[in-house]
């Protein structure tokens, strides 16, 4: 499976992936900002973080991804990726 090639936070959380074993580009794992805002309208920040983290993690093999939402209005968030064997601390965004 490809490794993470980058992160694009301009319109949501987009994890840019590399190429598969056949050299074909793998579509990004992406939770766009409209979906994020809509989900937040009916759920808490903690529920939204859990849902988005699971959504993105289900699309990755071998790497970890986490988001943290600072505020909903304006929507502000941050993302981290790490190798599978790295322990991401609970308050990694601090």
Q: Is residue 2 very low, low, confident or very high in pLDDT (cuts 50, 70, 90)?
A: low
Asked, for residue 88, whether it belongs to a domain, the answer is: no
Asked, for residue 94, whether it belongs to a domain, the answer is: no
Is 61's pLDDT higher than 90? no
Residues in CB range of 63: below 8 A, 6 or more apart: 3, 4, 81, 82, 83, 84
Segment 60-64 shows an average pLDDT of 79
Helices (H), 1-94: 33-42, 45-57
Is 51's pLDDT higher than 80? yes
Q: Is residue 42 very low, low, confident or very high in pLDDT (cuts 50, 70, 90)?
A: very high
- How many structural domains does the chain have? 1
The pLDDT assigned to 85 comes to: 87
Q: Which residue segment(s) compose the domain that 55 sits in?
A: 4-83
pTM metric for this prediction: 0.80
């Amino acid at each position: 499976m490809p490794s993470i090639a980058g992160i694009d936070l301009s319109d949501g959380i987009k994890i840019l992936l590399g190429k598969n074993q056949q050299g074909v580009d793998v579509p990004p794992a992406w939770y766009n900002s409209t979906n994020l805002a809509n989900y937040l309208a009916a759920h808490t920040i903690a529920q939204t973080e859990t849902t988005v983290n699971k959504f993105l993690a289900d699309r990755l093999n071998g790497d970890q991804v986490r988001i943290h939402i600072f505020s909903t209005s304006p929507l502000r968030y941050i993302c981290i990726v790490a190798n599978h064997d790295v322990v991401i601390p609970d308050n990694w965004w601090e």
